[in-house]
Structure 1
Amino acid sequence: MTTQHTYRVIVRGTFEQLMDEARARLLDELADHGLSQMRFTPEGSLTYDRSLKHFSYRFEIVSDSADGEEMAAALAEERAEAALRALGGGVGAGFGELRSTVTDMDTMKINRKGR
């Protein structure tokens, strides 16, 4: 039996060659994707600003610890790509290369201040 770990993954990228319909849809939904909406969820939480230049997705991925952080990053990037392609009722959003940062929540050390 393998141990499951919970990973928090931030996938970052840039919007590229957005079609007018996708741009309009993203701007219409801006309030739903601002900084106050940032959460780590299995479905992913998309954030961006009015400039529509950069975006980030936050995912919570549960996978085998033996697969490691690389697998968690790959799974999160795959989910982000699928969500971006489906964005805006199938219009899709153009995007460039994705970069990921992974934190293994099960191995993270928490420093507590002494009393």
Structure 2
Amino acid sequence: MQPPRNRERDVLLLLCAIGLLGLAYLAWCAIGWFGVGLLGLLVVFLAVRIELEGNRPIGPQMTPDLHASQYRAEAGFDHAERANRSAERGVVASTARLASLFGGGLTVVGFGLFFLL
């Protein structure tokens, strides 16, 4: 059974969508449809990067030792802590997927109208 919907998350989603549309309008005023497409690519890039990192700490270099130490630290967690981390990663992943959807829409609309017009 899924937990009940959180109104705060819906309000923040709406505010972020309005902010992204405002940035898209500014990009359209500055560069045209090409700017909207670039903004969409930027949003997709950031969303995919966040989803790939999985809300884990990152060092100055992405080394195997960094990932191994993170997994060793998580191996010592009890069941409740592992469930909490898993739920946090799920929230971050769903938000990143939604952001990549918005960014993909901006990319398609921006570059599509740039090439059509």
**Fold match (TM-score > 0.5):** no
Structure with greater proportional helix content: 2
Structure with greater proportional strand content: 1
TM-score, normalised relative to structure 2? 0.29
For the pair shown, the structure with the greater C-alpha radius of gyration is 2
TM-score, normalised relative to structure 1? 0.29
